Structure 1
Amino acid sequence: MAELIVQARWVVTGIKDRHTPVVIEDGAVLSRDGVIVAVGASDAMQKLAPAAEVKSYPNHAMLPGFVNSHHHVGLTPLQLGSPDYALELWFAGRMPARKVDLYLDTLYSAFEMIASGVTTVQHIHGWMSGGYEAVHGASTKVLNAYRTLGMRASYCYAVREQNRLVYEADQDFCARLPAPLGTKLAAHLTSQALPFDDFMRLFDQLSDENVGQTLTRIQLAPANLHWCTDDGLLALNEKATARGVPMHMHLLETAYQKEYARRRTGKTALRHLYDLGILGPHMTLGHGVWLNGEDIDIVADTGTCICHNCSSNFRLRSGLAPLNVWEAKGITVGLGLDEAGINDDRDMLSELRLALRVHRTPGMDDDDVPTCAQVVKMATEAGGMTTAFGAEIGRLDPGRFFDAALINWTTATYPFQDPDIPMLDALVQRAKTGAVDAVFINGEIVYQDGRFTTIDRDAVLAEIADILGKPRSPEEVERRELGLAVFPHVKKFYEGYIPDEPREPFYAASARV
């Protein structure tokens, strides 16, 4: 059995409460075959395993590896030509995107994540065309990219049964478009359709193929209320319960989705899911920006998790999620980078600061606003609970997988940091990706001093650049023309969709009067 001791100036094993990290000075982690055996003082760990390999980081803080609890693609939509429209327009705005081999595409964003200390990703895949075999092949490429790189991934293929472009039936929307645009769009949307039984078949096949894999696990994802029928939601929940896997579902990301739920169900989207009986600790709600007070109480009472996608909510004009209220209710909240962070990359250190800062409401009580320890917990232990790995990741505790990031204190704080500021607070607020010197996943070092140990990043990026440096294919040209033609009709569909009524925010940063 391979034994490894990793020493650091500080070892942050986890978060005790929203103000208190658990820190061992001059500490070390002893792991065996990728699983933590013991954590404690460095000399004590060496006495436990005198023959173990030792790696020392005397000027570093060791943190549990971060968990990106909500992720979709490699190259960002902006890179591929889609501006930050409001979400409902964004779907049409992304139709012209170039195609990139999914193995390379997945590696692109995985490089960025790992370089910022992310060791586990919740990959929510979807929006593929070509039928079952094409979808299965695409899923396999994504999973193989993570396995080859050495990154942990909780994978799901999002189930979409209906309303693929706007919040009404595909055929109804296409029928109102001028000819031949409606016919072309209908064919495009049909190419993305997959029979519900094939979604279930895909989950079963990927799960069978994943047996024996340590780094990847398969779960389920009803894409969103407007994309799923009630029968589909119930069937997915039944499958998740039978197979003991979690689900991740976009919900109430925008005010338009809130209105869609009212029109379809006569109640809130969250109340509808509750009445269907599909909420609970196995369900994570992505975004949740437009949950109301009663919804939040139901989330707390059922133990349902939420993933906060702070950057995405800002970029797509979705709104400001009531994170402070969720925290006060004791809800498990992960942190997700979604399509891309505020700087159009996958930098979890930047996302920690964004979540920390934007919810600093006026007042003086520290319990009312996020803390550094809180956002670290969101990105580690709480994030782990939104994935198929659950309590096996997210802390540096015995019995959990050894996933960790080593952050160089001098690089993060040079030329000076007053010691009155607690170590973790200083790192959360000051560390950049350049301070991440090493990343361990499953007890293996996958990133060291800016280089990946399993894959040549420069070669991958050069291959992507070569592919996208070529002219658009005829299929890409046709799809670009379709997207540009459809866009104004999508925008028109939502005119007057939301009732003109006053909104009362959970907390506000300014006042008109």
Structure 2
Amino acid sequence: MTAALVRAKWIVTGVQDRHTPHIVSDGALVHEHGKVVAVGPFDEMRQRFPDAPVTQYPRHMLLPGFVNSHHHVGLTPLQLGSPDYALELWFASRMSARDVDIHLDTLYSAFEMIASGITTVQHIHGWMRGSFEQVHGASSAVLKAYQAIGMRASYCYAVREQNRLVYEDDAKFCASLPSDVGVPLAEHLKQATLSFSDHMKLYKMLRDENVGQTLTRIQLAPANLHWITDDGLMTLVEQAKADDVPMHMHLLETVYQKEYARRRTGTTAVKHLHKLGALGPWMTLGHAVWLTEEDVELVAHSKTCVCHNCSSNFRLRSGVAPVNEFEKRGVTIGMGLDEAGINEDRDMLQEMKLALRAHRVPGMNDDDVPSCPQVLRMASEHGAKTTAFRGQIGRLDPGMQFDAVAIDFDAAMYPFQDDDIPPLDALIQRAHQRHVDTVYVGGDPIYSQGRFKYIDRDKVLGQIAEALSRPRSPDEVKRRELSKAVFPHVKQFYANYLEGEPARQPFYAPSSRT
């Protein structure tokens, strides 16, 4: 491949700080072999590369490809019959989900992500039923789906050792239930159980099988504090250090998880991880809603990353992560769409708008609230730092992968936008998915003008529709009945769980009662 130019009305190479994006007007980006070679004014780049072919985006802004730092499934829980319950009840309701072909399911959400400018996803897999061979087959199918569509994926299979349904030992909880509920529940949980040694075997197999792949990489994921033992967690930390791969761990998503940590450790989850030596730049804390002020300081001091899942936290009544406090302390903050965004899809342009607005606390100091460059950095460079592609994506600097999204700025601004508003600010707040023109991954335009280069979207959606139009299988009927039977018992388990928990004072509040 020879060098080629991409010319755009504006090229955003990255963000210097929360107020300062790096923007080249009438810019050109030179790329070769999938990487950025140079970026600068078009006239200058043309002189340096006079024979290079030029792709023109005269009305567009070219930005670093977005990174979805926290993702799990294709068809959403709502599509498969589970409303937006509080997280702990949601686990019970999701037992009834229909079986969906994992390859098609992965493509389903990949379509939505790519169409909104996402070029890399952190896919946190797990909760699979079946044998080791079946789990390995499912993992491989996910990886092959991303490779087929041309999208990058940093993949991990979440390690769960215990407490698979509620924050209590599986056997103890099942034994507390009526036998007609507890016995089938115990069998169901057994079907979704891998030994710790099998988890490690799976990681190493996938790691070795993935050698040489450019679009997919394998990392590690201790699922959450309540799902893993201290010994298991530290084994994963040592493996991550040995292989130089990152880790992603759900943590303190809900107040119930905060209380679980207090009961188990006598302190906070973050302090416990710090004492173990699990915190550091290799670790990303997914959600990170229920941290104390001391916890935030520990996260910042240890250079631990966090992933803000704004939509998910709203939808599941989990709370509001203290993003403003993270930002003040220089924490690396990625952005994740989790199961689905606020609009029941995977639209990173929408998620950036939501994160921009959700933390606009009362007051007049602009430094107290998120800025447009800041949320772009969360959705690109900072998100990239949480993945196994860290240091290679997230910016459009020379030497980086040419992963980018071209957005039709003029169409997004029509019929008018005053130029007193900085162009990046206007785009973040006004552009929508329909304005995404082209998405590049490694210099390859995998999506352009509403069409995917390698996969027929209509065909895949038709296959999913056909499969799910059939009646539930006997196993699906059985799980649906079990889910309904278990649900009230899970709700009862948490009825008094927060008794005695200290009063909660938020980092910031949008209103006052007295």
TM-score with structure 2 setting the length? 0.99
Secondary structure class of the residue paired with 1:28: strand
- Once the 2 structures are TM-superposed, how far is the Cα of residue 366 of structure 1 from its aligned partner? 0.3
Aligned residue type for 1:141:
A
Aligned residue type for 1:504:
Q
Residue matched to 1:467: 467
Aligned residue type for 2:221:
A
Residue matched to 1:224: 224
Aligned residue type for 1:22:
H
Cα deviation 1:354-379 (Å, max 9, x = unaligned): 00001000000000000000000000
- Cα distance in 1, alignment partners of residues 2 and 222 from structure 2: 40
* Count of residues in correspondence between the two structures: 513
8 A Cα contact 1:411 1:434, kept in partner: no
Aligned residue type for 1:359:
H
- Once the 2 structures are TM-superposed, how far is the Cα of residue 425 of structure 1 from its aligned partner? 0.5
Residue matched to 1:394: 394
Q: Tell me, yes or no, if structure 1 residue 416 matches structure 2 residue 416.
A: yes
- Cα distance in 2, alignment partners of residues 327 and 150 from structure 1: 33
Q: Tell me, yes or no, if structure 1 residue 443 matches structure 2 residue 417.
A: no
Aligned residue type for 1:117:
G
Aligned residue type for 1:489:
H
TM-score with structure 1 setting the length? 0.99
Secondary structure class of the residue paired with 2:447: strand
Residue matched to 1:60: 60
Residue matched to 2:3: 3
8 A Cα contact 1:4 1:443, kept in partner: no
- Once the 2 structures are TM-superposed, how far is the Cα of residue 3 of structure 1 from its aligned partner? 2.4
Q: Tell me, yes or no, if structure 1 residue 494 matches structure 2 residue 491.
A: no
Secondary structure class of the residue paired with 1:237: helix
- Cα distance in 2, alignment partners of residues 50 and 96 from structure 1: 60
- Once the 2 structures are TM-superposed, how far is the Cα of residue 46 of structure 1 from its aligned partner? 2.8
Residue matched to 1:337: 337
- Once the 2 structures are TM-superposed, how far is the Cα of residue 2 of structure 1 from its aligned partner? 3.6
Aligned residue type for 2:154:
S
Aligned residue type for 1:95:
M
- Once the 2 structures are TM-superposed, how far is the Cα of residue 205 of structure 1 from its aligned partner? 0.7
> What is the aligned-residue RMSD (CA, Å)?
0.8
Residue matched to 1:34: 34
For structure 2, the residue ranges without an aligned partner over 5 or more in a row are none
Aligned residue type for 2:219:
Q
Aligned residue type for 1:345:
D
- Cα distance in 1, alignment partners of residues 18 and 399 from structure 2: 24
- Cα distance in 2, alignment partners of residues 372 and 102 from structure 1: 36
Secondary structure class of the residue paired with 1:106: helix
- Cα distance in 2, alignment partners of residues 185 and 113 from structure 1: 35
- Once the 2 structures are TM-superposed, how far is the Cα of residue 181 of structure 1 from its aligned partner? 1.3
Secondary structure class of the residue paired with 1:428: helix
- Cα distance in 2, alignment partners of residues 81 and 180 from structure 1: 23
Residue correspondence of structure 1 range 83-162 to structure 2 within 5 A:
83-162=83-162
- Cα distance in 1, alignment partners of residues 179 and 249 from structure 2: 35
- Once the 2 structures are TM-superposed, how far is the Cα of residue 49 of structure 1 from its aligned partner? 2.9
8 A Cα contact 1:445 1:453, kept in partner: yes
- Cα distance in 2, alignment partners of residues 466 and 233 from structure 1: 42
Aligned residue type for 1:467:
A
- Once the 2 structures are TM-superposed, how far is the Cα of residue 106 of structure 1 from its aligned partner? 0.4
Secondary structure class of the residue paired with 1:130: coil
Stretch moving more, 398-407 or 45-54: 45-54
Cα deviation 1:173-211 (Å, max 9, x = unaligned): 000110121110000000111010111111111111111
Residue matched to 2:325: 325
Residue matched to 2:484: 484
- Cα distance in 2, alignment partners of residues 296 and 502 from structure 1: 18
Residue matched to 1:364: 364
Secondary structure class of the residue paired with 1:95: helix
- Cα distance in 2, alignment partners of residues 182 and 362 from structure 1: 49
For structure 1, the residue ranges without an aligned partner over 5 or more in a row are none
- Cα distance in 2, alignment partners of residues 203 and 328 from structure 1: 36
- Once the 2 structures are TM-superposed, how far is the Cα of residue 28 of structure 1 from its aligned partner? 1.3
8 A Cα contact 1:68 1:122, kept in partner: yes
Cα deviation 1:255-275 (Å, max 9, x = unaligned): 000000000000000001001
